[in-house]
Structure 1
Amino acid sequence: MITLGFPRMHKEENEKRDFLPDFFRRLKGENAEFYLEKGYGSKMEIKEEEYLQANENIKFVSNKECYEKDIVVVLRSPEFNEIDYMTNGSTLVSMLHYPTRPTRIQKLKGKDIFGVSMDSLRNDFLERIVVNYNGTSGNGIEMAFQELSKSMKNFYSKDRGVINVTIMGMGMVGLYAAKAAGKYGNRELNNKMVELATKGIVVKMLPRTVTGDREEIINLLKETDILVDATTRDNASEYIITNDLVAHLKPHAIILDLTADPYLIDTDPIQVKAVEGIPTGTLDKPVMYPEDEVYNTIPKGVNNDNRRTVVGCNAWPGIKPKECMHLYGMQLFPIIQQLIRLDRKDFSLNNDDFFNRSIYRATMDHFEKYEK
């Protein structure tokens, strides 16, 4: 039997996501054994018995034992010491983010790990097939408006003007953010569908031809109440909004970081965020105020003199864990099924199977041949 390990994620206290019992129920007919870390699902109040009832081939073991299996499945990428537990030549299915994690790629290659990056699983039209746009953009926009209602003194006043939301990036994350923003203009927050006697929202989506125009950006920032980073950069060592430009935002403005690209100092030049000087949020701390100590974690040489309240999270869908894992479970089922049944050499762009081709697009081999 093929063995699959499902370790838990321990980096943050509020990271609650584990695959639901229904995911393992769907895999019940596969010639495989499933090793779940003790306590799996407990943060979502799911008992071990529910998993055992879903699939009789489930065993509960230690974190290290999970990483020693033929295939390891974990939503967020393991730490390097956890990768050390893995068997040479085994398979890792995770959010590996190849374009912005060069050292991770080298670590995996050093152990001949067959990496399948969930964020790189794409169909024949190069659209992501394991993704939660609502969970990213919707959760981020909701939290940004909650913070704006605190910082903007006349937020609930019928005499205020429209709220201006400026979105950098016109991909799916940006489009979903624009759609989500529309419903907060004249309604009470916290899921209360109470109509307010206020003006609504104006959403502006900026393509690269505008974000590269300094004079135009300054004019837009002066009007902006919520600035959203939903960009995909070709060069992660360059800023889109330098810190001196942040000073042009209104004092009450909120910066919403949907990309959560981290600072990486082990590359030359270092990898930075699209907006210079903002910290990286987490599930434990998604809201960062100008005086917060988290600014001390920003690498030296990155200017953060000009500050605004920042809303950001390196795992946005984790804000609503059960909704997230229900969706990911459905999306990943055919992927895991293929990985159980086939050998790593069987995946290619020339295969007749839709999911086979998608899996190959998520490998390090494909990334280094066609995308790097």
Structure 2
Amino acid sequence: MVGKHAVEAATQYGSIRRSRDFGDRGLSGVEVTVIGRELTGSETYMRQKLTATEVLIDVTQRSDPTRPLIPNERIGHLPSHAVVCDLVVDPYVLQSDPPTERSLEGIPRGDLDPFKFLPNDPAWTKTIPASIPSKHRRATATCSSRPGVHPKEYTARYGELLLPCSTA
């Protein structure tokens, strides 16, 4: 369901009001592409898609958490101004059997402070094991604080934190 809501929000610039406002100003709509996990294995296909991607949102529920869906080398195909929004926020758990890797290899795992990372951020590698490639970086919003005990309050706070990212 997270993916469905992410797609709906993306097609409306994050809000219906903003979508209407942009339409009233004659701005064109947004193209949203959803890629099934089976396609992520194709280097040629992914290079074509990633070079034209400005916002990459990860909402995957993987069947194999031992392998990233998008290796760090492919993150390098994104334009330098691209933004990664990680809604999965699965951890790196390399000491487990089998080990767990993040679906987007080499991106940090944030929380409510910090939740956004620029490519040159010294905190970038604090949550990434040294054995994980992280050379290719893009501005990233990621937060492991999921709605739990007080889902309404947590969701509202997370929305407040992400709002400046959506209005830039």
Could you state the TM-score of these two structures normalised by the residue count of structure 1? 0.37
Q: State the Cα distance separating 1:278 from its structure 2 match.
A: 0.1
The 5-angstrom pairing of residues 198-209 of structure 1 reads 198-209=27-38
Q: 1:301 pairs with 131, 136, 142, which one?
A: 131
Provide the residue aligned with 1:217 in structure 2: 46
Provide the residue aligned with 1:181 in structure 2: 10
Taking the aligned partners of 2:132 and 2:47, their CA distance within structure 1 comes to 20
Decide which structure has greater strand share.
1
Asked whether the equivalents of residues 89 and 142 of structure 2 are also in contact (C-alpha less than 8 Å), the reply is: yes
Q: State the Cα distance separating 1:324 from its structure 2 match.
A: 4.7
Higher radius of gyration, 1 or 2 = 1
Q: Is the counterpart of residue 310 in structure 1 residue 137 in structure 2?
A: no
Three-state SS of the structure 2 residue aligned to 1:250 is: coil
The 5-angstrom pairing of residues 76-115 of structure 1 reads none
Q: Structure 1 counterpart of 2:94, which letter?
A: I
Q: State the Cα distance separating 1:174 from its structure 2 match.
A: 1.1
Taking the aligned partners of 2:37 and 2:16, their CA distance within structure 1 comes to 32
Provide the residue aligned with 1:252 in structure 2: 81
Distance 1:324 1:257, change over 3 A: closer
Provide the residue aligned with 1:231 in structure 2: 60
Q: Is the counterpart of residue 286 in structure 1 residue 115 in structure 2?
A: yes
Distance 1:185 1:261, change over 3 A: closer
Taking the aligned partners of 2:64 and 2:44, their CA distance within structure 1 comes to 22
Taking the aligned partners of 2:112 and 2:70, their CA distance within structure 1 comes to 24
Taking the aligned partners of 1:301 and 1:323, their CA distance within structure 2 comes to 33
Q: Which runs of no fewer than 5 residues in structure 2 stay unpaired?
A: 157-168
The alignment's C-alpha RMSD in Å is 2.8
The 5-angstrom pairing of residues 1-372 of structure 1 reads 172-184=1-13, 194-195=21-22, 196-297=25-126, 298-317=128-147, 321-322=152-153, 324=155
Q: State the Cα distance separating 1:246 from its structure 2 match.
A: 0.8
Distance 1:228 1:285, change over 3 A: same
Q: State the Cα distance separating 1:199 from its structure 2 match.
A: 2.0
Taking the aligned partners of 1:188 and 1:249, their CA distance within structure 2 comes to 29
Taking the aligned partners of 1:294 and 1:268, their CA distance within structure 2 comes to 27
Q: Structure 1 counterpart of 2:80, which letter?
A: P
Deviations along 1:206-256, one digit per CA (max 9) or x if unpaired, are: 112312222101100011011111111122120111111111101110111
Asked whether the equivalents of residues 185 and 200 of structure 1 are also in contact (C-alpha less than 8 Å), the reply is: no
Q: Structure 2 counterpart of 1:274, which letter?
A: S
Three-state SS of the structure 2 residue aligned to 1:241 is: coil
Deviations along 1:99-123, one digit per CA (max 9) or x if unpaired, are: xxxxxxxxxxxxxxxxxxxxxxxxx
Taking the aligned partners of 1:236 and 1:312, their CA distance within structure 2 comes to 18
Taking the aligned partners of 1:323 and 1:310, their CA distance within structure 2 comes to 20
Asked whether the equivalents of residues 277 and 304 of structure 1 are also in contact (C-alpha less than 8 Å), the reply is: yes
Three-state SS of the structure 1 residue aligned to 2:74 is: helix
Asked whether the equivalents of residues 118 and 139 of structure 2 are also in contact (C-alpha less than 8 Å), the reply is: yes
Distance 1:193 1:236, change over 3 A: same
Q: Structure 2 counterpart of 1:241, which letter?
A: I
> What number of residue pairs does the alignment pair up?
152
Q: Which runs of no fewer than 5 residues in structure 1 stay unpaired?
A: 1-171, 326-372
Taking the aligned partners of 2:123 and 2:16, their CA distance within structure 1 comes to 32
Asked whether the equivalents of residues 40 and 46 of structure 2 are also in contact (C-alpha less than 8 Å), the reply is: yes
Three-state SS of the structure 2 residue aligned to 1:238 is: coil
Asked whether the equivalents of residues 9 and 15 of structure 2 are also in contact (C-alpha less than 8 Å), the reply is: no
Q: Structure 1 counterpart of 2:4, which letter?
A: L
Deviations along 1:68-126, one digit per CA (max 9) or x if unpaired, are: xxxxxxxxxxxxxxxxxxxxxxxxxxxxxxxxxxxxxxxxxxxxxxxxxxxxxxxxxxx
Taking the aligned partners of 2:68 and 2:134, their CA distance within structure 1 comes to 13
Decide which structure has greater helix share.
1
Three-state SS of the structure 2 residue aligned to 1:205 is: coil
- Overall identity of the aligned pairs, in %: 32
Q: State the Cα distance separating 1:312 from its structure 2 match.
A: 0.9
